[in-house]
Amino acid sequence: MCVSLSTSLLSLLLLLSLLLPTTASLPPTIGVTYTPSARPSPERVASALQSLKVAAVRLPDPDPEAVRAFSYSNISLLLTVPNSLVPSFAANRSAAALWLYTHVVPFYPRARISAISVGSDPLVAAPDLSPLLLPAIRNLHRSLSDLGIRKIAVSTTFSFISVMTTAFPPSAAEFQSPASEIIIRPFLDFLAETNSSFMIHLYPYNVYKLDHEIPIGFALFQEHPFNFRDDRVTGVRYRNLFDVMVDAVISAMAVAGHENIPVVVAETGWPSSGDGTDPDASKIYADMYIKGLMGHLRSGIGTPLRKEGVAETYIYELFDGDEKQGNETRRGNWGIMYPNMTKKFDIDFSAAPVGISGGGLVAMALGLVLAVGVLLWQ
């Protein structure tokens, strides 16, 4: 009986291992954008985010004291060089080195700085800087190498609407000319050379506002039987606007000759209120978008064109406030927390990934089989 039982258990385990997948894509890192201010202090913010298990923080205005506050926190940081410094970085590597000596060298690696963005959406915020962008990026990268720092990636960020020809269908998406040939193609070559990521500001809210034929549920990750759109060229079915936009970027990079560069969503979010004239800027919709986004990312299913999906996603933003974007100010309440560090929405950054990988199912099956075996042996 013992031999027969052991053989049966082994056969069951072997069958499970054959039927279930043994690998699954890890869900991407989910972080937040945080613009430091006097209240609350960066130290308090860093402590609160660490207790909330936030994995990553993007600092669009990386004050040295804010960088210092995240030392020993195990939170990875994405720093941003102001657009105003792009000309000096492009002209002189010593300017890039000086910035590093102020914002990186005193804190790294105690502060887990993972990447630096040279500029924030410079093609829109400061289009006259376009010819200087790649030289500035290269000089910062060389300055990091001069310092012996090789684990900090260098990139820049683009706005989806400003650089893409279309969102749907993704298979038809390309980068807009003339930026595609002059800036983006050589920039993608640099990213491939340095194993860096393409960073994009990606707002389904903005695309939805431009095209009201898009169902609101499609933009808010709502699961309905007919809540989908098909790309007739590829035959791919999309069930949310976020995936449509990500795959449009992936398709455009493929057209430009680079299929495998990781994608980082440097900003995404939904306003919880606006100027009173936009009914879609509401706390209910913002709550639905953020929870839907986090659930989708944690599922580990990626996008139709890339099973690993995006590498990182940063929710915009931690606190409400107006942010200067070039000559315009983005108004509205985009924050996910109040200044007293209480949550505006009931979201859990520490939650485990949705679903269980094939390997996890096999492990669970093994535990169950062993438990049954022990009971039967007794």
In three state form, how does the secondary structure of 269-286 look? CCCCECCCCCCCCCHHHH
Long-range own/partner contacts, residues 42-46 (CB < 8 A, 24 or more apart): 42/66, 42/68, 42/69, 42/70, 43/69, 44/341, 45/69, 45/318, 45/341, 46/70, 46/73, 46/75
- Torsion-angle region of 332 (φ positive above 0: left; ψ -120 to 50: alpha; else: beta): left
Q: What is the span of the domain harbouring residue 218?
A: 25-356
Question: pLDDT tens digits for 186-226?
Answer: 999 999 999 999 999 999 999 999 998 899 999 999 988 88
Question: How far, in Å, CA of 79 to CA of 59, rounded?
Answer: 5
CATH number for 174: 3.20.20.80
Question: What pLDDT is attached to residue 376?
Answer: 36
Question: What pLDDT is attached to residue 129?
Answer: 87
The token duo for 180 is 């595609």
Is 68 within the bounds of a domain? yes
Mapped onto helix, strand or coil, the DSSP state of residue 189 is helix
Question: pLDDT tens digits for 11-30?
Answer: 443 333 334 444 456 789 99
Is 365 within the bounds of a domain? no
The closest of 140, 97, 135 to 117, measured between CA atoms, is 140
343-to-268, 281, 339 alpha-carbon distances in Å = 18, 18, 9
Question: How far, in Å, CA of 240 to CA of 68, rounded?
Answer: 38
The token duo for 233 is 């060229």
Question: How far, in Å, CA of 136 to CA of 86, rounded?
Answer: 6
Question: What pLDDT is attached to residue 225?
Answer: 82
Is 10 within the bounds of a domain? no
φ and ψ at 353, to 5 degrees? -55, 145
Question: What pLDDT is attached to residue 212?
Answer: 80
CB 104 within 8 A of CB 148: no
Question: How far, in Å, CA of 157 to CA of 169, rounded?
Answer: 23
Is 171 within the bounds of a domain? yes
Task: Read off the amino acid at residue 110.
Answer: R
CB 294 within 8 A of CB 347: yes
Question: How far, in Å, CA of 361 to CA of 19, rounded?
Answer: 11
Is 197 within the bounds of a domain? yes
The residue with tokens 């309905």 is: 224
Is 374 within the bounds of a domain? no
Q: What is the mean pLDDT of the chain?
A: 86
| Helix extents (H) in 256-347 | 283-298
What radius of gyration do the chain's Cα atoms show? 23
Q: How many CA atoms lie within 13 A of 25 on its CB side?
A: 18
The closest of 333, 201, 219 to 278, measured between CA atoms, is 333
Per-residue pLDDT for the chain (378 aa), expressed as one digit of tens each? 444 434 444 344 333 333 444 445 678 999 999 999 878 999 999 999 999 999 999 999 899 999 999 999 999 999 999 999 999 999 999 999 999 999 999 999 999 999 999 999 998 888 888 999 999 999 999 999 999 999 999 999 999 999 999 999 999 999 999 889 999 999 999 999 999 999 999 999 999 999 988 999 999 999 888 889 999 999 999 999 999 999 999 999 999 999 999 999 999 999 998 777 889 999 999 999 999 999 999 999 999 999 999 999 999 999 987 554 443 345 568 999 998 889 999 999 986 665 544 444 333 333 433 333 333 344
Question: How far, in Å, CA of 349 to CA of 55, rounded?
Answer: 8
- What total of structural domains would you count in the chain? 1
Is 347 within the bounds of a domain? yes
Is 185 within the bounds of a domain? yes
